[in-house]
Structure 1
Amino acid sequence: MIVAGPMVARELESGTYKLAWTQSVTPARWLLAKLAVPAVAVLAGGSLLSAVYTWTWSAVPHELLPGQLWYHSFDMLGPAPVAGALAGIGLGAVAGLLVRRTTGAMAAVLVGYGLLGFALGRLRPRLIPPWTETTPEMPGLAGDDAWRFERGIITRAGERLAEPDCGIGVAPARCLAEHDADRWYLDYHPASHLWPLEWAEAGILLAVAALAGAAALRLVRRPLP
């Protein structure tokens, strides 16, 4: 996915794009031709790899794959990784057109894609509404295959406080009393939320890919030296 940026930037840096543009090839068509090969490769290869990984993950008993619960393998399962690679191609094209230097474009797309991945990692638990459990006792964060991602208390006024600072060794009941709370809550996703989360994230990544592609087509129409 990172090849799109250097591929575009290299031609702009060397000036070889001028030859294509003087042979009745429009800038937009030139850019689409440059991105077509990596896009097809990503769709074909990425879909195959994701399908094989998903099948293997589903077929092998999970007790033979310690630490590989569904939310640990999220980035390799289903449509999200393929959509992410397409987003990377779009971001690479934008980086190449803006930076116009091969090394700089590669660095820019790596930083941009890293920031996108970080943001999605933070947003992922809230892409679809989680299930919430409330209990007078402090719930555990481990156990079944549910993704238990946030625990906290609910005050008598109805305010939620995530992971309240109660001090080391303080009993859960005392922690509730110190914050005028009457129960604990646990936000989690059951295993059945895997595919809704996958498609929600894939939708965001495809939107990023589309926006980046539109931005690249707009940028390539600007006058270039």
Structure 2
Amino acid sequence: MSALTLTAAPAGRPRQTRWLLRLHRPALYTWAVLWLALAALLLALDGPLLNAAAEGWRQVRNCGMTERCTYDQKAILRYKDYYNYATIALNVLPFLVAGWAGAALTGRELESGTARLAWTQATSPARWLAVRLAVPALGVTVCTGLLAWLHHRAWAAGQGRIDSAKDWYDRFTFHAGGPTLAAMALAGLAAGALAGLLLRRTLPALALGVLVAGGVRGLTELAMPHLWPAVTRLSTVDQGFLGKGLVVDQGMVTSSGAHVPPPPCDSNASCDAAYAHFTGRYNTYHPHSDLWGLQLTTAALTLAIAALLVTGCFLVLRRQTGTLRAARATA
């Protein structure tokens, strides 16, 4: 039996890949349709939708203060709505990947017994899991990477032409237009696979996979501003906070140079009295030049979490298959 297994192993991986693609053909078709729709929308946001909205904003800027203003409001609102739809959809993709991975990739196969059948046909559990993680991971990385690139192109093309364009540090725009999108999708894949292995049931694994993916997103949101050195600008009390970007911390400067939080006040008189004891303000933030530094460090953190989740997948599988072998040996 061991000789047969060793002989069949070299050809086993291509067969497993073909079987995996055939088994999840509906999900593959759905993903292809969704990807094409988002890609087409992002290309339109970088083309006709952008040009029409930019012309509308040009008309707004050319309007005089006393004359009646005529501009293409529909084009402006259409661009805004479609940009929001595309950006939100890209942010949701990692959760869809997590739900699918938990429900179908591992949970359903374990619940139906398909996985155990594969383990008895010259396929080790570790190889079975490796194929189920590697093949979707390749597709998810390529597809989400291309969508992130298209989104960043569309966003960059609107800067200076669309007055209502989102800032780079808008969280949905940030995660939709860089490598963090692919990293979060991979973390979602690993989270869903782990949920399926733990619960071995379709619907509970779907819910847990999405929940874990949400936890990864929340953790990266909290850590992101602190993963790259920020800039601090000082100003007088009357100047207000100087500098525009992703705010890390803001507050007041005392006469000794200490940085403290702004004091609470609820009226002009109380605010004047409270701020009279301070010598200035400080604003710690990330300017636009920190965009790719934050993108890369956040993606690295997310991939590290994904690696831990993948390690958890193999540890859980080894424990389960070890228990199964022990039960068979006892029987």
1:78 to 178, 185, 199: 178
Q: Percent identity?
A: 35
1:126 Cα deviation after fit:
1.5
| Residue 20 (structure 1) aligned with residue 103 (structure 2) | no
1:16 Cα deviation after fit:
1.6
* Alpha-carbon distance between aligned partners in 1 of 2:244 and 2:223, rounded to the nearest angstrom: 20
Aligned to 1:201: 298
Aligned to 1:160: 259
User: 5 Å matches for 1:103-114?
Assistant: 103-114=203-214
SS in 2 for 1:167: coil
Partner letter of residue 68 of structure 1?
K
User: 5 Å matches for 1:1-225?
Assistant: 1-2=97-98, 3-6=100-103, 7-64=105-162, 66-72=164-170, 73-137=173-237, 140=240, 146-170=245-269, 174-177=273-276, 180-224=277-321
Q: 1:176 to 1:165 in 2, by over 3 A?
A: same
Partner letter of residue 112 of structure 1?
V
Partner letter of residue 217 of structure 1?
F
Say if 2:263 and 2:275, in contact at 8 Å, map to a contact too.
Answer: no
1:124 Cα deviation after fit:
1.8
SS in 1 for 2:146: helix
Deviations 1:159-198 (CA, angstroms, capped at 9, x unpaired): 4323432333356553234xx5432111111100000000
SS in 2 for 1:64: coil
Deviations 1:92-134 (CA, angstroms, capped at 9, x unpaired): 1111111111111111111111122122222222221210111
More strand by share: 1
Say if 2:237 and 2:279, in contact at 8 Å, map to a contact too.
Answer: no
* Alpha-carbon distance between aligned partners in 1 of 2:133 and 2:261, rounded to the nearest angstrom: 45
The answer for unaligned runs of 5 or more in structure 2 is 1-96, 325-331
1:138 Cα deviation after fit:
5.2
More helix by share: 2
Of 117-126 and 201-210, the range deviating more from structure 2: 117-126
The answer for unaligned runs of 5 or more in structure 1 is none
Deviations 1:26-54 (CA, angstroms, capped at 9, x unpaired): 11111112223321221111011011111
1:144 Cα deviation after fit:
7.0
TM-score normalised by L of structure 2: 0.62
SS in 2 for 1:152: strand
Task: Tell me which structure has the larger Cα radius of gyration.
Answer: 2
